[in-house]
Structure 1
Amino acid sequence: MTDQRAVTVWRALRQRPLRFLVSAWPWRCWVYLASGALLGYVVLIALVLLVLGGMALSVVGVGLVVLTAAALYGIPVGALERRRLRLVEPVPLDRPHGALPAGGPLSWAAGRLRERATWRELGYTVLFGTVFAAAGFAVVLVLCLAALLMAVPVLAWALAPETVMIIPGEPIRGPLDALLGPALGLIAFALSAYAAGLLAGLQVRAAEFLLAPREDGSSARVIELTRSRARLAHAFEAERRRIERDLHDGAQQQLVALNMTLGMAEMELRERDSPAAELVTRARGEVRAALTQLRDLVRGIHPQVLTDHGLPDAVAEVALRNPIPVTVDIDLPRRPPEAVETVAYFTVTEALANAAKHSGATAITVAARHERGALRLLITDNGRGGAVPAAGTGLQGLGDRLAILGGRLVVSSPVGGPTQLRAEVPCSA
């Protein structure tokens, strides 16, 4: 169901009815209703012409196209109304239509005709061109009458008092007689303001019901599953960070201390020319190897450089360790959110590891930019190509991880190369 939040203009009208009259709300509502009255009649005339034209041209076979255009006519009207609604409702309405697969105009039209949102928008178009346009026109007439009552009597008394009579048969004889008109004008002004607020709020409600996306039972379940998956991913990431911290501060420090102790023991045994010195030397070498493996493991769980310095430095460090030369071109105006930065880092590391194992490439390029509210990654290698996400190369897992944050992964890898991985993660995730 649509969000049944309180309409902003109704809330302003209910909380401070007197202050509402001297605020900007009446003017915003009048502009909204006046423009709606004019636009509504234009929309209605265009819709009637489309329907009549489609019926008339049906005998020559073109009518179906025109009637299809009439059925889809509500889509641009709905888009315009969602933008115009910002005059009286600060919270924007989302677009109710889903994404369609790539195709021509016929496939687009067929996809849109199958959506319920298209028919709701058409219903709103009819309602907008008839009921709301007429009601808005009536409110504007009351406003014009209020302006006339407030201005005309005073002007008439000043210029030609014998030409205007507020009360039939009694001309205006002085300024006090002329005050009756402005008094009635103020009353009409207040009535017009309150009527404009009520009608604008009613139109907001209708737009929320017909032009906003709806969540049925299946959509709600999908949303809850997506949120649950995101919570599990965040919990998993927090556990990874805890393990990394424990290994870094616990086991790694103990191995460093053990290595120092063995070093002192080695020095003592060599001074005594003991044959056990060789065993201690070998033990120190094994400790150093274990320490190196542990550091690599900690870095793989969550590198400290990513936390301290951000994505560019973390990717640069990975590039230095990669067996294939990597060119890093990351230019971000600011650090993305932690979850986005983490998934971007592991996308790069997995892509570099796959390229080193399977591509046979001699050069790799990693580029990252922040565009239209999303972090976009482009990883390119000049290898043999032929990478398939479903082939178990880790690309499917990358796509799943990106999908948790609403991102996507596009792989282009023709046989013979080059291979391009395009990853996009919304920074709002």
Structure 2
Amino acid sequence: MRPATAWQAMAQRPAGFLTSSWPWRSLAYLAGGVIVGAIAVLVFTAGLATGIVLLVVLLGIAPLVGLVLGSTVVASVERRRLRLVDLDPVPDPHRTPEAPGFKAWVATRLKEQATWRELTFTLISAAALWWLDLLVLGFSFGVPAVTISSVDGDTWPWAVFGSVVLLASPYTLTSWAGARAAMARTFLAPRDQELGEELREVRATQSRLLDSFDAERIRIERDLHDGAQQRLVSLGMTLGMLRLDTPEDSPQSELLTQAETQLMTAQQELRALIRGLNPPVLADHGLVAAIEDYAGRFPIPVTVDLRLPRRLPRKIETTMYFLINEALTNIAKHSGAGTAAVHGRYHSDLLILDITDDGHGGVDTEAGSGVTGLADRVAALEGRMRVSSPAGGPTLLHVEVPCRFA
């Protein structure tokens, strides 16, 4: 699957990034930002000046309200522009007015929190963002143009510097475009309270199911530990007592040996099952230690690079453990990989995981594969998951989950 954002494009396709469309999309996004920002500055300056002047005679409220409502237009344009560097569409957070007519529309918009967030974004865009867009474009292309065109015998180091800046410009543009798009999504995406009642109920149901599965998993683990495992221990003691009364060279002794071997195998399998249902290392030491422990027992080498500021909330920690567990199991079963890696960071209230392997790739996310179950786990936490798996490999599973510490 193709990358969903500009940042993912740089991370997932380091070899083919320069020949992809992402640098050009980033260039178009930033150039458009300069144009939209400059127009917004002119319109808002004129509207604000007119409103202040007319406010003296109590007629300025209309231009000022117009500026607030105009921000919704800027936000609408920005949502469309975001598709250049973020393929996931940003839903419109505004609700339909309860009554027809312009007056009802204005009243509805002025009462919505989304409108005031859009006004904030528009002011930030007009005051700073488009200037930063222009600065990045100027640095990426203006500096090389000046230094290279003015080269002579004494200034050739500047020409070298300009050439380096020009060669790095695809990464410079895409990095800033990705950061700008992430900030814009923060302001322009709908909040939970602005989502429809039906969608909120779906998310609440997903959360309840996740809690229910977690509680059921713990119950099963406890029942197996206190029930089946104890019975197997008791059976082992009975076989041991029977061994004392059985001659070593009798046929019964050989049958007892077979029974003890099968009992030992059953106990090992049951312990592995219990440990998989509720790993003690996860409960006692957290996600990082649990994944390192699991990777140490994995049939292929797994590099673990998880750096978290503290233990995650229980629901996220448990879900991420079983997600990584299932993803690695899929790698061992289906990818033909020789190595795998788990990379994780926490940044700005977001847990970001990358699970990679050097297998043959070709994962079809639409064919109902094991990836579907992973996506369901992520969706239950209101996160996003993307898969890059070209034929011939490598495969990258990218997960982003909102995570806030209490």
Shared topology, TM-score over 0.5? yes
- Residue of 311, 317, 335 corresponding to 1:359: 335
For 2:360, the equivalent position in structure 1 comes to 384
CA distance in 2, matches of 1:426, 1:108: 16
Q: 2:238 aligns with which of 261, 264, 274?
A: 261
CA 280–354 in structure 1, closer or farther in 2 if over 3 Å, else same: same
- Secondary structure at 2:196 match in 1: helix
CA contact (8 A) 1:73 1:122 kept: no
Counterparts in 2 of 1:314 and 1:45: CA distance versus 1, 3 Å: closer
- What is the distance in 2 between the residues matched to 1:111 and 1:258? 61
Percent identity, please.
44
In the alignment, the residues of structure 2 paired with residue 110 and residue 264 of structure 1 have an alpha-carbon distance, to the nearest angstrom, of 70
CA distance in 2, matches of 1:108, 1:122: 27
Distance 1:246 1:122, change over 3 A: closer
In structure 1, runs of 5+ residues without a counterpart are 1-41, 51-68, 79-95, 129-211
Matching residue of 2:304: 328
**Deviation for aligned residue 1:46:** 2.4
In the superposition, relative to structure 1, how do residues 45 and 262 fare at CA in structure 2: closer, same or farther (>3 Å)?
Answer: same
- Calculate the TM-score normalised by the size of structure 1: 0.53
Could you tell me how far apart the structure 1 residues matched to 2:292 and 2:370 are? 22
Instruction: Tell me what 1:344 maps to.
Output: 320
Aligned-pair distance for 1:407?
1.2
Aligned-pair distance for 1:113?
11
* 2-structure distance, mates of 1:109, 1:387: 24
Aligned in 2, Cα 1:224/1:248: closer, same or farther, shift over 3 Å? same
Note if contact 1:100-1:111 (Cα within 8 Å) is conserved in structure 2.
no
Aligned residue in 1 for 2:8: none
1:373 aligns with 2:373: no
Superposed displacement of residue 44, structure 1: 6.5
1:221-250: CA deviation from partner (whole Å, max 9, x where unpaired)? 211221122112211210111111111122
Q: CA deviation at 1:321?
A: 2.3
Change (3 A) 1:368 1:215: closer
Counterpart of 2:326, as a letter, is E
Cα pair distance change 1:215/1:303, threshold 3 Å = closer
Structure 1 residue 99, shift from structure 2 partner: 6.8
SS for the counterpart of 1:365 is: strand
For residues 332 and 389 of structure 1, what CA distance do their matches in structure 2 show? 29
SS at match of 1:233: helix
Q: How many residues align?
A: 265
CA contact (8 A) 2:350 2:402 kept: yes
Q: Provide the rounded CA distance (Å) in 1 between the counterparts of 2:225 and 2:80.
A: 48
Tell me the SS of whatever aligns to 2:393. coil
Aligned residue runs from structure 1 range 75-224, under 5 A: 75=72, 102-104=82-84, 124=110, 219-224=196-201
Distance in 2 separating the partners of 1:307 and 1:97: 47
Q: Which residue is 1:247 aligned to?
A: 224
Distance 1:292 1:424 in 2: 36
Question: How well do the aligned residues superpose, as a CA RMSD in angstroms?
Answer: 4.2
Give the 3 Å change call, closer, same or farther, for CA 102–289 of structure 1 in structure 2.
farther
- CA contact under 8 A between 1:382 and 1:417: conserved in structure 2? yes
Please name the residue that 1:237 is paired with: 214
1:289 aligns with 2:286: no
Match of residue 190 from structure 1: none
Q: Deviations 1:273-320 (Å, cap 9, x if unpaired)?
A: 432111111111111111122122222322222111111121122212
Matched, 1:275 2:254: no
3-state SS of 1:389 partner: coil
Q: What is the distance in 2 between the residues matched to 1:98 and 1:236?
A: 40
- 1:213–1:336: structure 2 CA closer, same or farther, 3 Å change rule? closer
Q: Which residue of 2 aligns with 1:317?
A: 293
Q: Which amino acid aligns with 1:74?
A: S
| Partner SS for 2:312 | coil
- The structure with more radius of gyration: 1
TM-score, with length taken from structure 2: 0.56
